[in-house]
């Protein structure tokens, strides 16, 4: 889902998962490093970084479960995560562009609170994009979850809890802080933002993230 249309004509969403990042690395070696304002944006005001990321360089993926581009990006992202450096902290943040995005946000944070996200995250994508389930209403989400063998009463309690509502508010605030234009999108260290439009494809967006992480690593901790 995009606030403005991303131009991904040069990189098919499904084919993206098979594209290598090496060509971009080679371009970097030739002095063609990504440019601020062209390949990525520098935030004028720093976005908050999660407390759990203290001492590490945080990378955030902004996504929406019903976004076909996010679904197609998952295999590429998962491959990238398998090689995540120890000094990098990664987290996903579901976006909210309109009211129908709130139930999927609550679904994500409820699964996270119940320690069910690792086994259920991919199943949510499959339910929407393969099984054509509509999970944009509270009752639809709860009924679908119950069919997955999850305790309905417990899920509903957490789903409607203050803590999940707070997470949803924080996600929306972070989305605004990064000035997310569409999804999937990536934020780095509370300072930088890139997406499929800026990077001309999500595989290249990950390469740009690698570049920005390396720059942060060289800069070291901020001096007080």
Mean predicted lDDT score pLDDT of the chain: 88
What is the average pLDDT across 98-109? 97
Detail the DSSP E strand segments found in 33-158.
41-42, 57-63, 88-94
Backbone φ and ψ for 41, nearest 5 degrees, come out as -110, 145
Q: 């005001």: which residue's tokens?
A: 45
Quote the pLDDT of residue 53: 85
More confident residue, 199 or 16: 199
pLDDT at 22 over 70: no
| Beta carbons of 48 and 169 less than 8 angstroms apart | no
| Beta carbons of 108 and 117 less than 8 angstroms apart | yes
- CATH architecture, range 58-186+199-219: 3-Layer(aba) Sandwich (3.40)
Establish how many alpha carbons lie within 13 A of residue 16's alpha carbon, considering only the half-sphere containing its beta carbon: 30
Tokens coding 118: 């690792």
pLDDT at 111 over 70: yes
What is the rounded distance in angstroms from the CA atom of residue 155 to the CA atom of residue 161?
Answer: 10
What is the average pLDDT across 35-41? 97
Quote the pLDDT of residue 67: 97
Tokens coding 103: 């139930």
pTM recorded for the entire structure: 0.86
Bridge partners, 58 (sequence order)? 89
Could you tell me which of 29, 68, 47 has the C-alpha nearest to residue 186?
47
């Amino acid at each position: 889902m995009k606030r403005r249309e991303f131009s991904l004509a040069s990189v098919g969403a499904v084919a993206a998962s098979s594209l290598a990042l090496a060509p971009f690395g080679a371009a970097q070696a030739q002095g063609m490093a990504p440019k601020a304002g062209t390949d990525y944006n520098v935030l004028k005001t720093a976005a908050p970084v999660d407390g759990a990321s203290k001492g590490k360089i945080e990378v955030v993926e902004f996504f929406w479960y019903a976004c076909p581009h996010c679904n197609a990006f998952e295999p590429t992202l998962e491959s990238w995560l398998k090689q995540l450096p120890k000094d990098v902290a990664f987290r996903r943040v579901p976006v909210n562009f309109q009211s129908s995005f709130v139930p999927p946000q609550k679904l994500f944070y409820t699964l996270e609170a119940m320690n069910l996200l690792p086994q259920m995250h991919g199943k949510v994508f499959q339910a929407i994009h393969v099984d054509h389930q509509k999970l944009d209403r509270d009752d639809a989400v709860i009924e679908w979850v119950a069919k997955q063998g999850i305790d309905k009463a417990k899920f509903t309690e957490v789903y409607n809890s203050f803590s999940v509502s707070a997470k949803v508010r924080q996600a929306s605030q972070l989305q605004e802080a990064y000035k997310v234009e569409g999804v999937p999108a990536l934020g780095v260290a509370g300072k930088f933002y890139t997406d499929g439009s800026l990077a001309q494809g999500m595989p290249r967006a990950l390469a740009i993230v690698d570049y920005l992480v390396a720059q942060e690593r060289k800069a070291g901790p901020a001096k007080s």
